[in-house]
Amino acid sequence: MAQWTSAVGATQLARLLTSQQARPAGAGTRRPPAYRALADGIRLLVLEGRVPVAARLPAERELAVALSVSRTTVAAAYEALRTEGFLESRRGAGSWTAVPAGNPLPARGLEPLPPEAVGSMIDLGCAALPAPEPWLTRAVQGALEELPPYAHTHGDYPAGLPALRAMLAERYTARGIPTMPEQIMVTTGAMGAIDAICHLFAGRGERIAVESPSYANILQLMREAGARLVPVAMAEGLRGWDLDRWRQVLRDAAPRLAYVVADFHNPTGALADEDQRRKLVDAARSAGTVLVVDETMSELRLDDVEMPRPVCGFDPAGATVITVGSASKAFWAGMRIGWVRAAPDVIRSLVAARAYADLGTPVLEQLAVNWLLNTGGWNEAVNVRRDQARDNRDALVAAVRRELPDWEFEVPRGGLTLWVRTGGLSGSRLAEVGERVGIRVPSGPRFGVDGAFEGYVRLPFTVGGAVADEAAVRLAAAARLVETGAGGGMQAPQSFVA
């Protein structure tokens, strides 16, 4: 049985190789042999996630024609990649991309910083900001005032408090998506929502298509649930989804689920436009794939940009799209309230399955969110969050550009994260060495499948002012250690030249 889950055509691979940016060669530097440049180019595409792991590569003859080189050059490049562990082959099944054995995903960077380290370490691991006071305190006080009637009940509400379900339904309706309370289930954060969806729709061994890169914690949740992840590369820059790749994966891999972040994607910050949303829903419907849309970043618009319609707005029958929302990014990560919007029959199935999981979400926190939504406090708090995130983003961007001018990124217009290409340095080594100089940063492979994105790190907008300046100084110190060999380095290859 073939081990590949997607395919890259010869013309597509040739275009990707041509688009690679070469580092200028130093004086006296010899150009590598053509086969070596080709192998290095394909390796970097895999490490950056632009070609997914487990993607079938074109036959040697097809790629040779597309690149206008000899078949011998392609054969030698493929053999070099096989020797290095970046390619596997089987007679009759072709060749597909891989990563070398013994290179596990870095375990650093996303777990909360230990309390004893606060003050000595700048934490860029978690994309979460402090609570927007005084709104947290007011919400909890308001919830306590509304608690007594609920205290006389058993306290278990598997679908969520009726008042909060109705309020969330009203908010979707106000956005132009008619919604009934029966289409809402309140969960313990967005993670709880996606965990429930995965267990309902995708048993062990089922395929789930995911953006590449994608949110690290969700990828790990799906791995632990036994899913087979099928990565789909994002479009270049901040242009959202590559619809040709999505259609191909949905058609060829036939995944049971697909997970996407359409609004200020984590980690890249991309915003999918309305045309992309419509076409992806159509492609998922045609393939019989359930599309899980994570809207946790949707309210974090930092610049003056017109927001597209929600993805579920392109699924009027409600049979293809399941939407997940949360209070954790827009309000506070400590407010573990999430929700699912889906067809009523899907909600009933999720609620029934919940009896064997967590039974329900804490009543007091639901009341706090409901108080915020009812009183206008939510909008006030989100405005505070936007201002803080915008100031932090601008400070961090300026500091990184000053201290690390070779690092490349595009500034997103919303969300909480900056996706940075590290000038050919290993993101894993930067994460490891960074802790020695007092900064925690998650490496790119945390956000990919099977080791992709080695040349990236994610920088969240969680610090500003002088702390952002110091964070960039420490990142630059870590980069120097990696470059000089104290931390090890991965240098980007020259672009392939025939």
Three-state DSSP class for residue 300: coil
Domain 134-375 part of CATH 3.40.640.10: yes
Domain ranges across the chain: 6-12+31-97, 115-127+390-484, 134-375
d(CA 215, CA 83) in angstroms, rounded, equals 31
Work out the mean pLDDT of the chain and round it to a whole number.
Answer: 89
Q: What is the mean pLDDT of residues 380-391?
A: 96
Looking at residue 432, its pLDDT comes to: 83
Kindly state the helix (H) or strand (E) to which residue 390 belongs, with its residue range: helix 377-403
Each residue's pLDDT tens digit, 427-458: 888 988 998 899 999 999 889 887 788 899 99
d(CA 389, CA 300) in angstroms, rounded, equals 8
DSSP 414: B
d(CA 79, CA 39) in angstroms, rounded, equals 9
- Whether residue 495 is predicted with pLDDT greater than 70 in this model: the reply is no
Looking at residue 497, its pLDDT comes to: 41
Q: Single out the residue of 249, 187, 251, 198 nearest to residue 221, CA to CA.
A: 198
Three-state DSSP class for residue 7: strand
Full DSSP string of 24-38: PPPTTPPPPPHHHHH
Q: Do domains 115-127+390-484 and 134-375 have the same CATH topology?
A: no
Each residue's pLDDT tens digit, 337-355: 999 999 999 999 999 988 7
- CA 216, distance to chain mean position in Å, is 6
From the candidate CATH numbers 1.10.10.410, 1.10.1840.10, 1.10.10.10, 3.40.630.10, the one assigned to the domain spanning 6-12+31-97: 1.10.10.10
Question: What are phi and psi for residue 29, nearest 5 degrees?
Answer: -75, 130
Amino acid identity at 197: I
| Per-residue tokens: 192 | 């709880």
- CA 232, distance to chain mean position in Å, is 11
Place of tokens 């965990």: 195
CB count in 10 Å sphere of residue 421: 19
- Whether residue 369 is predicted with pLDDT greater than 90 in this model: the reply is yes
User: What are the CA-CA distances from residue 141 to residues 136, 137, 189, 281 (Å)?
Assistant: 9, 6, 21, 42
Looking at residue 21, its pLDDT comes to: 47
Each residue's pLDDT tens digit, 269-304: 999 999 999 999 999 999 999 999 999 999 999 999
Each residue's pLDDT tens digit, 54-104: 889 999 999 999 999 999 999 999 999 999 999 999 888 889 998 887 654
- What class does CATH assign to 115-127+390-484? alpha beta
Q: Single out the residue of 92, 18, 9 nearest to residue 58, CA to CA.
A: 9
User: Dihedral through CA 139, CA 145, CA 146, CA 151, nearest 10?
Assistant: 120
Looking at residue 116, its pLDDT comes to: 60
DSSP 258: E
Q: What is the mean pLDDT of residues 34-44?
A: 89
